[in-house]
Structure 1
Amino acid sequence: MNNRNNTIQEKKHDLSVRSMYFSRYLMIRYFTAIYLFTNLFWLIFAISYQSLIGSFFAGVIFVLIILASIEQASKWHKKDSDLKYTKIYYLSQFVYNVVLIPLCLTPLRKVVFPFSESNDVAMIIISILLLGIVGCLMIFVRIRNIQNGRDKYLKAIKTFENNQQ
C-alpha cells in the first residue's frame, strides 16, 4: 500500500511540475487568443466584403497564428522553450501592424480593411494596431526571458521539482 501511495504522490508531483512548466506560457497564450479572435474578425469581415487583398493578408496571418497556437498547446507535453512558430507569428503580426498603420491614413485602407468607411473607423483600427504593436513587444520580451531561463517561474519550478513532497 505504501508503494502505491508513493506512486500516486509521484504522479501528482509530475503533473504539478508539468502544469507549472505550461504556466510559463500563460501570458503568451492569452495574448495569442486575443490576436486570434481579432484576426478572425478581420478575416470574416474581409471575406464578407469580398476584399481579395484583405482576405489574403488576414488569411495568411490567421494561418500563422493557428500554427503558433498549436505550438503553444504542445508545451503541455514538452519542457523545451523553443517557440519557433510563435516567434514567426508575432514578428509577422508586428510587421503587419507597423505597415498597416500608415496605410490606414490613406484611401488604400479600404483595400485591406474594406469596412473602414470613415476616418473614425480608421482611427479605431489604428488604435487597435498600436495596441497590437505594444502587445507584440511584450511577447518578444516574455519569449526572450523564457528562452534564456530568466522568467520568474523557472526558479520556482526548479525548486519545486527538487523538493518532491
Structure 2
Amino acid sequence: MLNFILNILSLGTKPLYDRHMKFDKLISEFRIKLANPEYQKKSTGSDIDQLYNELNSFNSHFVFFKKYYQKYINNLNRLKPDPEDKNPDWTLLQIAVAKNKWKPTTPFSIFVHHLKYDYVLTSKPFIAYQKKQNRKKLNKPVKVVKETEKPKSEKEWIRVPISRNKSKP
C-alpha cells in the first residue's frame, strides 16, 4: 500500500521536477557556451535573443520557489549584452551563470537552499548553528611561539673588544 501511494506521489511531482530540470539544463548549456571563446567571437544577436527568449519563457512555468527563479532570471536579464555590440563583455554574465553553492540551479539543491536560508522554521536554527561554528573559528586561541632568535637590532651590531692597556711609545 505504501509503495502504491509513493508511486502516485512521484507521478504527480515528476512533471514539476522535469520543468525545473529543463531550467537547470538551459543554464548549464549557457554556462558551457560562455566558457568557449569561439562562441563569444561568433555569437550573433539572434543567438543571444533566442537564449534569452527561452530563459524568459520559464517565468510562468514554476510552481515551487517561484520567487527564487524569478530573481535568477531577472539578474540574468539585467546582464544581457546588447545584440548590436560586436564585442560585448562576457565576464559579468559568466560570473552570474557560474556554479555556486549560494545560487544553485538543480531542483534538489534549490530545495535544500530554501530550507536552510529562506524557510523561517528551519532557517533560524541552521543559521544560528552556522554563526556558532564561525564564532568558534574566529575566537580560537592562537598559539604563541617563543622567540628564540635575538631581535634584529642586536644582530646588526658586533661588539669589538677595546684593549685598556695601551702601549706607550
Taking structure 2 as the reference length, the TM-score comes to 0.35
Q: Larger C-alpha radius of gyration, 1 or 2?
A: 2
- When you count helix as a share of all residues, which structure comes out higher? 1
Kindly indicate whether structure 1 or structure 2 has the higher relative contact order, using CA contacts under 8 Å at least 6 residues apart. Answer: 1
